[in-house]
Amino acid sequence: MTPSPQKVALVTGAARGIGLAVAKRFLADGWRVALLDIEGELLGQSVEALADAGNTLSLQCDVSDARAVAGAFAEIGRRFGRLDALVNNAGIAVTGPVEGLPVSAWSDQMEINLLGQVRDIDALRTEVTDMRARWRAERDRSSVGEFDLKQGAGGLVDLEFLLQGLVLQHATRFPALLADGASAVLIEALRASGVIDAQVAADLARAHADLLARAIRCTLDARPRVVARDADIESATDAVRTIARRCGFDFGGA
C-alpha cells in the first residue's frame, strides 16, 4: 500500500500500564500506533477505549514466538506501509525467594524479556528489507547506463531505509534519534550515539551529499531524477549498499 504520511510506532506490551501510556503519547503527538500484546481481550478493550480506529492497529502476539512477530510486522506493513519507531516494552517478572522459583519461571523471563527483543529486531530487519524490495520493483527506473537517484540500488531511498532501520533498532536506548528524520541529521545522531562509527558516518554523509546534490539539480532543471552512471555514483551507491549489508539490511542490487 502507499505509505502513510504520518509516522508509525509499534509498542509492545501495550494493553495496559506503561505500554498503553506510551501509545497514548504517540497518538497525542500525531503518530499512528500499532499496539501489540499477548492479552488479546484486554488489548482489544484498550484500543477500543482509545476511540481512534483510523490511527491504531491492535495486534495480539507473543513476542517470544518468532513466526508471530514476523506476522505482526507484515500486518503493520499492509496497514500503514511504514514503521518509524519500535518500543520494546513487553516483559514479565516473577518474584519470590530464588530457591523457590521453578526453572520454567527463569526460562519464561529469558524467552520474553531477552530473546523476544532480539527476535523483534530480526523480524524488523526482514520486514524493512522486504518493504524496500517491493518499492524498488515498482519504482526503480535504472538501466544499464542510467541510475535512478532515488529508487536505484544504493540510492537515496536505500539510504533512508537504512537510517530508519537503525533508528527503529536503537531508539529505545537513544530517544534522541527520534528528534529529526532528516537523513543528514540522522547520520550525525547515529554517530553521536555510537550506533555507527566516524568512518561509516563520513562515508554515508558523503554519499548522501553527492546523490542529493544531483537530485536537486535534476529538480531545478525539471528533469527526471535519472542520470548517466559515472565513477562517483558507483562509489556512493557501493558505500550505501556495503554499509547496509553490514548492518543487516541487504537491499539487493548490483
- Most confident stretch, 76-80, 94-98, 118-122, 155-159: 155-159
| Percent of the chain whose pLDDT exceeds 90 | 53
- Reported as a single tens digit per residue, the pLDDT across 187-229 is 999 999 999 999 999 999 999 999 999 999 999 999 999 999 9
CA-atom Rg of the chain in angstroms? 20
| Res 250 pLDDT > 70 | yes
Handedness of CA 161, 162, 167, 169 (dihedral sign): positive
> Regarding the domain with residue range 140-246, which homologous superfamily does it belong to in the CATH classification?
Nucleotidyltransferases  domain 2 (1.20.120.330)
Q: Classify 8-136 by CATH class.
A: alpha beta
Please state the pTM of the whole predicted model. Answer: 0.59
- Reported as a single tens digit per residue, the pLDDT across 121-169 is 777 788 788 888 888 888 899 999 999 999 999 999 999 989 988 887 7
Cβ neighbors of 63 (< 8 A, separation 6 or more) are 12, 36, 38, 69, 90, 112, 116, 117, 119, 120
DSSP track, the chain: -PPPSS-EEEEES-SSHHHHHHHHHHHHTT-EEEEEES-HHHHHHHHHHHT-GGGEEEEE--TT-HHHHHHHHHHHHHHHS---EEE--------S-GGG--HHHHHHHIIIIIIHHHHHHHHHHHHHHHHHHHHHHHH----SSEEETTTSTTSHHHHHHHHHHHHHHHTTT-GGGGS---HHHHHHHHHHHTSS-HHHHHHHHHHHHHHHHHHHHHHHTT--SEEE--HHHHHHHHHHHHHHHHTT------
Nearest-angstrom CA–CA distance, 78 and 90: 23
Residue 118 CB neighbour total at 10 angstroms: 11
Domain coordinates of the chain in residue numbers? 8-136, 140-246
- φ and ψ of 207, to 5 deg: -65, -45
